[in-house]
């Protein structure tokens, strides 16, 4: 079992919490796997985790859903934002 600490930003934090920990069987997994695990553990995030516009960052770098994440890396999800 491996622990993944995930930061949620913006409206994602409003729907769940600012940071949470998931326990998964694998010591590494893809961002897509994390999205699925988050959606299962927190149904209020399911639609957002299915939205490709919600971006994932690992160690402060935006990554694709195929990126492999190791337990202990800094993981964050960001919803789309608008600015002015």
State the Cα–Cα distance between residues 62 and 31, nearest whole angstrom: 11
State the Cα–Cα distance between residues 49 and 77, nearest whole angstrom: 9
Which pLDDT value is given to residue 59?
Answer: 96
Which pLDDT value is given to residue 26?
Answer: 86
| Model pTM score | 0.89
The domains located in the chain, with CATH, are 2-78 (3.10.20.30)
Over residues 7-46, the pLDDT tens digits come to 999 989 888 888 999 899 888 999 999 999 999 999 999 9
């Amino acid at each position: 079992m491996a622990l993944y600490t995930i930061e949620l930003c913006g409206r994602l934090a409003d729907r769940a919490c600012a940071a949470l920990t998931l326990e998964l069987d694998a010591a590494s997994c893809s961002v897509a796997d994390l999205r699925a695990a988050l959606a299962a553990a927190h149904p209020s995030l399911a639609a957002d985790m299915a939205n490709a516009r919600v971006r994932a960052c690992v160690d402060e770098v935006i990554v694709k859903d195929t990126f492999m994440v190791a337990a202990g890396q800094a993981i964050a999800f960001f919803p789309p934002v608008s600015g002015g």
